[in-house]
Amino acid sequence: MFKINENYLKLPGSYLFSTIGKKVAAFTKDNPDKEIIRLGIGDVTQPLAPAIIEALHSAVDDMAHAETFHGYAPDLGYDFLREAIVKNDYEPRGCQITADEVFVSDGAKCDSSNIQEIFSADSKIAVCDPVYPVYVDSNVMAGRTGTYDAKTETWSDVIYMPCTAANDFVPELPKETPDLIYLCYPNNPTGATLTKNQLQEWVDYANKNGSVIIYDAAYEAYISQENVPHSIYECTGARTCAIELRSFSKNAGFTGTRLGFTVIPKELKCGDVSLHALWARRHGTKYNGAPYIVQKAGEAVYSERGKAQLREQVAYYMKNAAVIREGLAEAGYQASGGIDAPYIWMQTPGGMSSWEFFDYLLEKANVVGTPGSGFGPSGEGCFRLTAFGTYENTLAAMERIRKL
Amino acid sequence: MFKINENYLKLPGSYLFSTIGKKVAAFTKDNPDKEIIRLGIGDVTQPLAPAIIEALHSAVDDMAHAETFHGYAPDLGYDFLREAIVKNDYEPRGCQITADEVFVSDGAKCDSSNIQEIFSADSKIAVCDPVYPVYVDSNVMAGRTGTYDAKTETWSDVIYMPCTAANDFVPELPKETPDLIYLCYPNNPTGATLTKNQLQEWVDYANKNGSVIIYDAAYEAYISQENVPHSIYECTGARTCAIELRSFSKNAGFTGTRLGFTVIPKELKCGDVSLHALWARRHGTKYNGAPYIVQKAGEAVYSERGKAQLREQVAYYMKNAAVIREGLAEAGYQASGGIDAPYIWMQTPGGMSSWEFFDYLLEKANVVGTPGSGFGPSGEGCFRLTAFGTYENTLAAMERIRKL
């Protein structure tokens, strides 16, 4: 009789956002007259920018004629996109990344969950707490995390690095050496950042201890401060210790269009074996490339018109972030983030748990946020609001919260 | 010091089609004046059908306006597509599949390589020989296949089921019971089929022995004969033993557009645990849905106009298949397939190895095919030609082969 991967059964409950979806659906069913405002999941609301729409239409037309039709894409991405990425995201910041170190994919969620596959099954991972659940869950599925303690909501074989108001949401270097360190900056969910000097410490630590940093920079477009790095490759030595994940979801509104990329420098090696070669082999065997039309849309993100339009789009969301930050402050809540990130991280009032506050906000204000405890035990007592709603809804949500 | 997944290092050479690509690139560089005709990789050449192009343009327009913009898709696919699939692919054939048993994805290559993840690490797999390399390689990466014997080109822990001219390319039921049985019909690479009675034997075998059949039906649109099943769910009892993989690549030319789906009936269980729930969890954690615009294109595949246009497209390729079959017969080669599948499987002449014939054909006729040995040891001495070229190129290729 066939057997299943028992590691899946260790996963407690369902994926965070599925649970939220179900709760909201149940509330809506019972309260069909209430108008819900969603500041929960980090999904964008602004349409794709005109330059991107034009590129999509043009690419669709290419697919309509045999002479310009595109079948299987190159496994690792079209050169036109890989080169645009390097020219715009890396060269201007002095990062020595070449086009063939860029692996185009259908998004950072897939990449961040798949990247663990190229590492040993007994790798020890370190994550920030709170953390984007995918990093941990994908390692649970691979059997790397030991046993789950429902009381502390932690895994026995995971190194947790608490990020709380007490340490300004900046984790300490771990005492026990991890093999893989997941870092996400600007951070989801706390909205915190690392300065370049702080990130350099992590790069130095990884090089010294033989760790690999998996650096999720999905929110780099929201950075407003000068001393915050957009890429880990701005740090000296990152080419021998860091993998960087990027997404088009948040800088260009591709949550439903699906495009991302992973950078693996060729110097990143375990003995003689380059991780670049392993990831290339994975892509070649298990992936068939992002759609041509979507890669053309990605190219338009880097056109001059595209860049100008997307700067406006990011500014639109960051205006929302300011509304949320100021609204919460006025209403007497403690909150941080929202300066270099589209997320605002607030402390729940009166000792409420994260899920209690979720239910309270849903029922009393009909506003959906994300319970901090869903991101890890140190997120308990916290709550995430996102700036990805419309301006009007964001204003309305803050008005409702102010009136509570 | 971090460690890698050593299983990757066990993989011999590179992915078959990468190797072919490199050989062809080298030949083209040395012979810039030669016009290559590619009948190797199974990539389509006809443009997307007009009904699909219209749906794509319309969906792109949806993405341009806030009111019709689509962010994150439902993890498992939009209902409009899941319902169209059931209504068109399953209901007319009497298969009891419901829309919530359909998992939309970005293609059958990803699904066929990822599906092994939900099974135990010590699962024993059985594959046809020759076989689509992804089934085996994805299991190698997961550490399921034991050690590789370079001499026999086999893995110690894989059950190989030879499919040769001697058994009409129909595998025998394995003597040792596998946990997972990969079957692909119409077959890639041999172009052979199973009758409904033959497939029923496999379903009965799997139910009796507690095996799961992973049934790859990517080529079902090419079936022309009445007694050949389009879906494994046409067989009695398949709901308790079979997972079916489908692709839009070959029936609708989506190789560069990327869309597929996997069906897991809810009755397919290991004890109390349904594989449906495990795969849903995987999708929720590691995948973020196929692009909205691509799912709308998929919906158009099932429109009346789309279906009519795609019947023509399939007929176009099958005309090529007839040209190849007849051309090879005239030239004195032994070949099969090409009746219910876009692949023709030929025996190499004069005892040449598959790769010798590949080089011979590339150099003398400037025609690219796929060496049978790349699909497994029993493919040695065979060679695959595909019907996916243009009609003109297919005629020209056969003319060149006839003149050899």
A137 pLDDT higher than 80 = yes
User: Can you tell me the mean pLDDT for B277-302?
Assistant: 96
Hunting for tokens 């054909």 — which residue is that? B361
Q: Percentage of chain B with pLDDT > 90?
A: 96
The dihedral built from the CA positions of residue A199, A201, A204 and A206, taken in this order, carries a sign that is negative
Write down the pLDDT at residue A14: 67
CB B382 within 8 A of CB B347: yes
Residues of A in contact with B41 (CB under 8 A): 72
**Least CB–CB distance from B107: residue in A63, A210, A288:** A288
Highest mean pLDDT among A5-14, A36-45, A366-375: A366-375
Write down the pLDDT at residue B12: 83
**Least CB–CB distance from A4: residue in B18, B119, B137:** B119
Model pLDDT for residues B127-143, shown as the tens digit of each residue: 999 999 999 999 999 99
Q: What does the alpha-carbon distance between residue B110 and residue A280 come to, in Å, rounded to a whole number?
A: 15
**Least CB–CB distance from B110: residue in A65, A270, A286:** A286
Give the strands of the sheet with B370-371, arranged side by side: B335-337, B343-347, B382-386, B370-371
pLDDT-based confidence at residue B17 (cuts at 50, 70, 90): confident
Write down the pLDDT at residue A288: 95
Q: What does the alpha-carbon distance between residue B159 and residue B131 come to, in Å, rounded to a whole number?
A: 12
Strand, coil or helix: A155: strand
Model pLDDT for residues A261-291, shown as the tens digit of each residue: 999 999 999 999 999 999 999 999 999 999 9
Average pLDDT of chain A, as a whole number? 96
B13 pLDDT higher than 90 = no
Model pLDDT for residues B305-319, shown as the tens digit of each residue: 999 999 999 999 999
CB B291 to CB A256 under 8 A?
yes
Per-residue CA distances from A136 to A153, A376, B117 (Å) = 12, 10, 16
Residues of B in contact with A15 (CB under 8 A): 281, 284-285
Write down the pLDDT at residue B402: 94
Strand, coil or helix: A235: coil
Min Cα separation A178/chain B (Å): 8
pLDDT-based confidence at residue B261 (cuts at 50, 70, 90): very high
Residues of B in contact with A9 (CB under 8 A): 273
The residues, ordered by sequence, that sit 6+ positions from B271 with a Cβ below 8 Å of its Cβ are none
A15 pLDDT higher than 80 = no
B150 pLDDT higher than 70 = yes
User: Can you tell me the mean pLDDT for B7-19?
Assistant: 84
User: Can you tell me the mean pLDDT for B267-276?
Assistant: 97
User: Can you tell me the mean pLDDT for B35-62?
Assistant: 95
Q: What does the alpha-carbon distance between residue B342 and residue B253 come to, in Å, rounded to a whole number?
A: 13
CB B270 to CB A212 under 8 A?
no
What are the φ/ψ torsions at residue A383 (nearest 5 degrees)? Answer: -155, 135
Model pLDDT for residues B325-352, shown as the tens digit of each residue: 999 999 999 999 999 999 999 999 999 9
Q: What does the alpha-carbon distance between residue A309 and residue A297 come to, in Å, rounded to a whole number?
A: 14
- The token pair at A27 is 């509330």
CB B180 to CB A2 under 8 A?
yes
Model pLDDT for residues B244-256, shown as the tens digit of each residue: 999 999 999 999 9
Write down the pLDDT at residue A17: 79
User: Can you tell me the mean pLDDT for B342-364?
Assistant: 97
Q: What does the alpha-carbon distance between residue A262 and residue B24 come to, in Å, rounded to a whole number?
A: 28
A82 pLDDT higher than 70 = yes
Residues of A in contact with B206 (CB under 8 A): none
User: Can you tell me the mean pLDDT for B201-206?
Assistant: 98
Of the given ranges (A81-85, B30-34, B150-154, B335-339), which has the lowest mean pLDDT?
B150-154
Q: What does the alpha-carbon distance between residue B83 and residue B252 come to, in Å, rounded to a whole number?
A: 18
For residue A109, the surrounding DSSP H or E stretch is helix A108-114
CB B291 to CB A291 under 8 A?
yes
- Within a 13 Å sphere around the CA of B369, how many CA atoms are in the beta-carbon half? 33
For the question of an ipTM over 0.90, the answer is: yes
